Amino acid sequence: MQDYQSQKPIVLDILDAHRTMPGNLLPILHGIQDTLGYIPSAAVEDIARSLNLSKAEVHGVISFYHYFRTTPPGKHTIRICRAESCQAMNGKALESHAKQTLGIDFHETSSDEHFSLEPVYCLGNCACSPSITIDDEVHGRVTPEKFDQLLAACKGAK
Amino acid sequence: MSRVFISRDSTALSLGAEKVAATLQQLSDTKGLKIEIVRNGSRGLFWLEPLIEVETDQGRVAYGPVQAEDVASLLETGLLEGKQHPLYLGNIEELPYFKNQNRLTFARVGLTDPVNIDDYIAHDGYRGLKNALALQPADIVKHVTDSGLRGRGGAAFPTGIKWNTVLNAPAEQKYIVCNADEGDSGTFSDRMIMEGDPFVLIEGMTIAGLAVGATQGYIYLRVEYPHAKVALNQAIAAAYKNGYLGENIQGSGKTFHLEVRSGAGAYICGEETSLLESLEGKRGLVRFKPPLPAIVGLFGKPTVVNNVISLASIPVILDKGGEYYKNYGMGRSRGTLPLQLAGNIKHPGLFEAAFGMTLREILYAYGGGSASGRPIRAVQVGGPLGAYLHEGQFDTPLDYEAFAAISAVLGHGGIVVHDDSVNMADMARYAMEFCVEESCGKCTPCRIGSTRGVEVIDRIVDGTQKDKNTVLLRDLCDTMMYGSLCAMGGMTPYPVLSSLNHFPEDFGLPAAKA
């Protein structure tokens, strides 16, 4: 776990950049997660003070949204769509395959810290189900074999 | 210089479009061929993506689906001259899937460079805004009312009435909010508009601002659509630079500012009041209505909240008039609906048609039947809260009232197809589970009802007091439907009850009478 003291200046900069924006809490949280990969629990106090909110309010917002995370992700984040269209095209088999191959369940990170696995409900790629994303890249018509190839490509690129 | 079109749409990218474009550029450079690759939106015939279109003397010629390894042979046989090849498709607009559509909202998607404002204007863009700038606000609203346009959310509320309420609400500040939180599985028309023709949405929102007197707009965009965010921001920057956004739009003295805000993966934020809470930087908890957002909306001010497709339909209405738009459709469902064919279907894609086609036509004449080749058994229309339809209902016309009459919804026009390998008790359980996952938690029927719903379905499938639990499930659905604060809990019973009613054998219950 990284020391928050080294992250604090980044958080304060992001807070400062959004000071006058109406409804700024979500943009601030996105800014922090985009930069650090997650929202450190220790940042909650700084965010709360800056926005004149209670820590509970800030924590309540972070925990409400599926996208925000409070622990560092693996090097790559894989999101597998669990929605109906992907289910209609063997998405469940792909889910099991991914969990087994990575040796982790949803919301977990592999022991080598290479991959985090998250469920997602629709990537808007329903015409080519089943779909996954690896970081920001969408992949369609993903079979277990194609999943293994994509994983190997990620590892090759480390 | 040959102009070549390769899509930047997420779906095309998910099938390898980026690599195709890179390979084509590289091989052309090696051969000394001069080409300009335009990264357009998608025509929406997704089984043909990645698609390459080339401008030739005979018009645009298409090839698809193209993989990077096909590019060398395509160039070899005369891709740039539109010559024959096993992947040759000819003019894509002549294929029946495309030709038989009524493309009003999607007229430019796949045709133009999405972020090039000159290209947008050259293809009739900003004509609606030009007309709107010459009209009084009430007259703009009248055109929208006359068009018969209804919101593409579950409620199908008339857009003109909503705008009129905001117009007549006195306030020093009003807002236009675009609900781009298209979280319904099986839907991708918003994403395609935002990636393929973002200016049409920007123009629609600007007109909305003029119509009701709002000077600030927000696009609340799903975080799952990173490519749409890039395209929107590029287009917004171009609109500002060319005087189509900001102060004194086209010298009219009118002002409209626009900004994209990212959601954070909460399905409930597609509900308009929850979306407003989220935009204000809070948890996306549903608000009680009244007051309506049209009166007390974002930051407590009168606010128009419309979906992407509703707002993207505005420019054509202001360009050609409300009557023109109204002439498409049937009954009280006027204009066109972009249908999205997904799931287990041979020819998935986007199909914009006037209301009134039947589901069967779409599924078989255009969709080509299931992808697996097995019989189509169940079709969910209108997202994860929409009902499952069975074969006997496939002749229902696509019309809001006709769907309501069979306890179904059209919603966003998403059509998800399942073949006969589907287990409908699993799908009913999934619908309840989805509600557990995505409920905002504010009201009890939705929050607790969905958790109990999963348990009751499990007991029915297990065979534990089957009859008693089936009665209990119906009772629970009734409570959720009539007792929930919003459509999340109120509509979850649609997929559950339709599964139970049409496919009882999957629950281990006696089969339904035909």
pLDDT recorded at residue B513: 64
Q: Which residues of A are less than 8 Å from B496 in CB distance?
A: none
Q: How far apart are CA B376 and CA B397, in angstroms?
A: 18
User: What pLDDT band is residue B408 in, cutting at 50, 70 and 90?
Assistant: very high
Selected residue of A85, A129, A137, A141 to mutate for chain B interface (largest B Cβ count, 10 A)? A85
Computed over every residue of chain A, the mean pLDDT equals: 96
Q: Peptide bond preceding B50: is omega within 30 degrees of 0, i.e. cis?
A: yes
* Contact state of B186 with A61 under an 8 Å Cβ cutoff: no
**Residue pointed to by tokens 């805004």:** B129
Q: Which residues of A are less than 8 Å from B13 in CB distance?
A: 137-138
Q: Which residues of A are less than 8 Å from B416 in CB distance?
A: 84-85, 88, 126
For A90-102, the pLDDT digits (tens) are: 999 999 999 999 9
The CB density around residue A107, as the number of other CB atoms within 10 Å, is 12
The CB density around residue B255, as the number of other CB atoms within 10 Å, is 15
Q: Which helix (H) or strand (E) holds B417?
A: strand B414-419
Q: How far apart are CA B372 and CA B419, in angstroms?
A: 7
**Could you give phi then psi for residue B62, rounded to 5 degrees?**
-110, 150
Q: Is the Cβ–Cβ distance between B44 and B88 less than 8 Å? A: no
pLDDT at residue A157 above 90?
A: no
Q: How far apart are CA B198 and CA B235, in angstroms?
A: 6
Judged by a CB distance cut-off of 8 A, whether residue B371 touches chain A is yes
pLDDT recorded at residue B245: 98
pLDDT recorded at residue B484: 97
Structure token digits, residue A89: 């095209």
For B319-331, the pLDDT digits (tens) are: 999 999 999 888 8
Query: What's the mean pLDDT in B158-170?
Result: 97
pLDDT at residue B155 above 80?
A: no
Q: How far apart are CA A55 and CA A42, in angstroms?
A: 10
The CB density around residue A89, as the number of other CB atoms within 10 Å, is 28
For B50-92, the pLDDT digits (tens) are: 999 999 999 999 999 999 999 999 999 999 999 999 999 999 9
pLDDT recorded at residue B411: 87
Q: Which helix (H) or strand (E) holds B86?
A: none
**Residue pointed to by tokens 């990173």:** B226
Collapsing DSSP to helix, strand or coil, B505 comes out as: helix
| DSSP string computed for A28-95 | HHHHHHHHHSS--TTHHHHHHHHHT--HHHHHHHHHHSTT--SS---SEEEEEE-SHHHHTTTHHHHH
Q: Is the Cβ–Cβ distance between B367 and B345 less than 8 Å? A: yes
User: For chain B, first and last CA: distance in Å?
Assistant: 62
pLDDT recorded at residue B157: 87
**CA distance readout (Å), B316 to B123, B132, B204, B463:** 12, 11, 9, 55
- B343 vs A24, A51, A88: nearest CB: A88
pLDDT recorded at residue B331: 86
Q: How far apart are CA B70 and CA B419, in angstroms?
A: 32
- B224 vs A26, A51, A120: nearest CB: A120
Q: Comparing C-alpha atoms, which of B370, B390, B391, B381 is closest to residue B411? A: B381
Cα-Cα-Cα-Cα dihedral sign, residues A118, A121, A124, A128: positive
| Residue A64 C-alpha, separation from nearest chain B C-alpha, in angstroms | 6
For B454-489, the pLDDT digits (tens) are: 999 999 999 999 999 999 999 999 999 999 999 999
Structure token digits, residue B108: 């430019």
Judged by a CB distance cut-off of 8 A, whether residue A93 touches chain B is no
pLDDT recorded at residue A72: 96
- A127 vs B11, B226, B227: nearest CB: B11
Q: Comparing C-alpha atoms, which of B180, B66, B15, B191 is closest to residue A137? A: B15
pLDDT at residue A158 above 60?
A: no
Q: What percent of chain B is predicted at pLDDT more than 90?
A: 94
**Residue pointed to by tokens 């009751």:** B456
**Residue pointed to by tokens 């969709």:** B367
| Residue A6 C-alpha, separation from nearest chain B C-alpha, in angstroms | 26
pLDDT recorded at residue B154: 65
Give the Cα-Cα-Cα angle B97, B384, B459 (nearest 5 degrees).
135
Please report which residue ranges of B41-185 form alpha helices under DSSP H.
71-76, 96-99, 117-122, 127-133, 137-147, 159-167
* Contact state of B283 with A61 under an 8 Å Cβ cutoff: yes
* Contact state of A129 with B282 under an 8 Å Cβ cutoff: no
Q: How far apart are CA B514 and CA B509, in angstroms?
A: 15
Structure token digits, residue B409: 């919804």
* Contact state of A121 with B267 under an 8 Å Cβ cutoff: yes
**Chain A residue at shortest CA distance from B414:** A126
Contacts of B99 (CB under 8 A, 6+ apart): B93
Collapsing DSSP to helix, strand or coil, B118 comes out as: helix
| DSSP string computed for B261-299 | EE--S-GGGGSHHHHHHHHTTS--PPPPSSSPTTTS-GG
For B115-152, the pLDDT digits (tens) are: 999 999 999 999 999 999 999 999 999 999 999 999 87
Q: Is the Cβ–Cβ distance between B261 and B279 less than 8 Å? A: yes
Contacts of B485 (CB under 8 A, 6+ apart): B286, B288, B442, B443, B446
Strand partners, B389: B379
Query: What's the mean pLDDT in B16-34?
Result: 97
Looking at residue B309, the DSSP 8-state letter turns out to be H
For B229-285, the pLDDT digits (tens) are: 999 999 999 999 999 999 999 999 999 999 999 999 999 999 999 999 999 999 999
Give the Cα-Cα-Cα angle B432, B435, B440 (nearest 5 degrees).
155
The predicted complex's ipTM stands at 0.96
Q: Which residues of B are less than 8 Å from A68 in CB distance?
A: 264-265
Q: Comparing C-alpha atoms, which of A121, A11, A5 is closest to residue B185? A: A121
pLDDT recorded at residue B131: 98
**Could you give phi then psi for residue B108, rounded to 5 degrees?**
-100, -10
**Residue pointed to by tokens 């809001």:** B400
CB pairs under 8 A between A and B: 149
**CA distance readout (Å), B237 to B109, B116, B228, B242:** 20, 11, 14, 9
Query: What's the mean pLDDT in B180-186?
Result: 91
Q: How far apart are CA B203 and CA B125, in angstroms?
A: 8
Cα-Cα-Cα-Cα dihedral sign, residues B182, B187, B190, B195: positive
User: What pLDDT band is residue B1 in, cutting at 50, 70 and 90?
Assistant: confident
Q: How far apart are CA B358 and CA B272, in angstroms?
A: 30
Q: Is the Cβ–Cβ distance between B348 and A128 less than 8 Å? A: yes
- A65 vs B186, B265, B343: nearest CB: B265
Query: pTM for the complete prediction?
Result: 0.96
Computed over every residue of chain B, the mean pLDDT equals: 96
User: For chain A, first and last CA: distance in Å?
Assistant: 21
Structure token digits, residue B43: 């025509």
pLDDT recorded at residue B86: 98
Query: Which residues 98-137 in chain A show a CB within 8 A of chain B?
Result: 120-129, 131, 133, 136-137
Contacts of A13 (CB under 8 A, 6+ apart): none
- A85 vs B186, B262, B299: nearest CB: B186
- B343 vs A24, A29, A126: nearest CB: A126
* Contact state of A140 with B14 under an 8 Å Cβ cutoff: yes
* Contact state of B15 with A131 under an 8 Å Cβ cutoff: no
DSSP E strand stretches across B346-413: 349-354, 376-381, 388-390
Query: Which residues 28-67 in chain B show a CB within 8 A of chain A?
Result: 46
**CA distance readout (Å), A121 to A91, B228, B306:** 12, 17, 22
Q: Is the Cβ–Cβ distance between A151 and A114 less than 8 Å? A: no
For B190-213, the pLDDT digits (tens) are: 999 999 999 999 999 999 999 999
pLDDT recorded at residue B514: 54
For A6-65, the pLDDT digits (tens) are: 999 999 999 999 999 999 999 999 999 999 999 999 999 999 999 999 999 999 999 999
**Residue pointed to by tokens 């080519």:** A128
Query: What's the mean pLDDT in B161-173?
Result: 97
